Amino acid sequence: MDQLVSTEWLAGEMGASDLRVVDATYFLPDAGRNARAEYEGGHIPGAVFMDIAELADASGDLPNMLPSAEKFASRMQSLGLGDGSRIVLYDDSPLRSSARAWWMLTMFGAHSVAILDGGLPKWKSEDRPLETGRPEVRHRHFTVWKDDKQVAKKADVMANLHDKHAELVDARPSARFTGEEPEPRGDLASGHIPGSHSTPHGQFFHGDGTWKTGDELKAVFEDAGVDLDKPMITSCGSGMTAAVPLFAVHLLGKEDVRLYDGAWTEWATDPHTPKATA
């Protein structure tokens, strides 16, 4: 299974015993939308709902930080996702939250995970079937392990300011990157991590919501001044859309990429970290 699959491919695979479809839609708290309610109102047949908001470390002050491996495995087992599953993720979110779900699943040990190109909007636009409610699922064993090499911490980003070993890309909107537009959280400083490149996550998609690929995808990074031959660290506001450029470079075959989970929220609240607006 490819990392990116089409609606036509998924329609042809429906009913396969090892296939698990997952709705990974997530909205910001102030979006005025309820991801679970929308899922129950209509989803791809057989899909289960992954509550990304709940898949976080609730012990700290930072949003969206990775949960423990044990918590993650428990939640996946309750969704019927386990060893031997082929997992296809989709969403209906402007944040493209299925990329975050893809990152977490692959980092915690899932071996066959893909994103549905175009997500639920494309599936609906083709008049493909939907179902409502919640399907009954059978718990499956999920063998979990954590690949910390895919995670960057604040200390790693701080060190990178000096050795410039990796390219740092920021998936927030450009006006937030420059500081022209304030952060959604009013207590956060504006601007960006010095030396980072602005790559707003929406630039990685066509107008119909499908992913750019190949040379079009490379051009997004190159136009932002990113050297794709160097390792990469991705960031955003709270670790959600940072998964979009991370998945994008995986589509290009690049694997030396990490996600800064604390992201701008952690960086901006530390008075000792440098901030830039130019």
Is 105 within 8 Å of 24 (Cβ atoms)?
Answer: no
Same domain, 20 and 126: yes
In the chain, where do the E strands start and end?
A: 4-5, 19-23, 48-49, 86-90, 113-116, 151-152, 167-170, 197-198, 232-235, 257-260
Element housing 151 (H / E): strand 151-152
SS3 228: coil
Same domain, 119 and 41: yes
For 237-265, what is each residue's pLDDT tens digit?
A: 999 999 999 999 999 999 999 999 999 99
* Tokens 């450029």, located at residue: 245
| Assigned token pair, 124 | 């609906």
At residue 12, φ and ψ (nearest 5 deg) are -75, -20
Residue 52 lies in a domain: yes
At residue 11, φ and ψ (nearest 5 deg) are -60, -35
Q: Which domain holds residue 115?
A: 4-146
Q: What is the mean pLDDT of residues 6-26?
A: 97
Top-confidence residue, 135 or 225: 225
Same domain, 89 and 208: no
| Residue 185's CATH number | 3.40.250.10
Q: Does residue 278 have a pLDDT over 80?
A: no
* Tokens 């066509």, located at residue: 206
Same domain, 25 and 131: yes
Task: Please state whether 88 falls in left (phi above 0), alpha (psi between -120 and 50) or beta.
Answer: beta
What is the identity of the amino acid at 129?
P
* 3-state SS string for 47-106: CEECCCCCCCCCCCCCCCCCCCHHHHHHHHHHCCCCCCCEEEEECCCCCCCHHHHHHHHH
Position 192 confidence tier, pLDDT thresholds 50, 70, 90: very high
Q: Does residue 186 have a pLDDT over 80?
A: no
Same domain, 47 and 181: no
Is 182 within 8 Å of 277 (Cβ atoms)?
Answer: no
Catalytic residue numbers read 236
